[in-house]
Homo-oligomer: A and B are copies of this chain.
């Protein structure tokens, strides 16, 4: 990893293609505003189609590809789960932005859900998205030849990553540590749970649905764990140094709320070095995979180079 950016035209084309597939599927799965009561579908779609990069669903598909699935018929049986991951991610953003939580007015350059629809509807839009994830996944009619017991395992795994031992736990500690002295253990807990758990679950879900063996699943879980941390460290750095226009939200917001972050704890340069080490680790995790893991490898490098 030199500081020089490598040619990423393969990855850009890959991300664009997959994002298109996910966006189309989400639009197809999610009910429209012609349903009653319109406001809930409007609020859900407002945040769901606010320009998300669909990183979690794409990691799910790329992980399936790495073990020999994720295309053709197999792609279509994985899509509901991939989309459910994005529904859970979007719910978490809506609830995190609430006044009782991070109290953010902007997200991806647009007013946050509660600024547009009010707090009550925003809470309910988050609830609806979380519930819809678990409505979408067990739809047997869309799952092709995925064995039902495997699908149950995936639902269980994703719920574990989203719940009190995963993402919710991370948000709780994040909420409670604002304004307090940062320590490394707490920081790792927050980042590995708040962001890392669902990133890992996304990679695992794709691997499981594509029939990964035990060793492959372990390697991909480790990859997910490391990439998840890189993702959050880069987020922290972008919050300090990023371009407000590219990010679509105010930079410096973490510092103004005395949020516990990697740069606050160890400085920007050490944080960058830590992120580079984690990228190397994630590449080592999947070193035994063949060319079909190329998207996963390129995503790991991309996560650290992204500007938004």
Contact = CB atoms under 8 A, between A and B. Distances in A.
B98 A123 contact: yes
Given A119-B100, A123-B95, A134-B134, A155 B156 contact: no
A135 B156 contact: yes
Interface stretch (A2-10, A166-174, A232-240, A252-260): A166-174
Contacts of A165: 31, 35
Contacts of A172: 37, 39-40, 121, 124
Interface size class of A (residues with CB under 8 A): 35 or more
Nearest to A170: B37
A118 B99 CA distance: 12
B100 A123 contact: yes
A139 interface: yes
A131 B130 contact: yes
A245 interface: no
A123 B101 contact: yes
A163 B39 contact: no
A164 B123 contact: no
A31 B164 CA distance: 9
Contacts of A189: 36
Contact of A168 (B35, B40, B122, B138): B40
B153 A155 contact: no
A156 B139 CA distance: 7
B37 A173 contact: yes
A132 B163 CA distance: 6
B138 A156 contact: yes
A152 B151 CA distance: 8
A131 B171 contact: no
Interface in A136-174: 138-140, 147-149, 151-153, 155-156, 159-160, 162-165, 168-169, 171-173
A31 B168 CA distance: 14
B140 A153 contact: yes
Most interface-central of A122, A126, A152, A169 (chain B CB within 10 A): A152
9 contacts: A31-B165, A35-B165, A36-B189, A37-B173, A128-B163, A131-B163, A132-B163, A138-B159, A140-B153
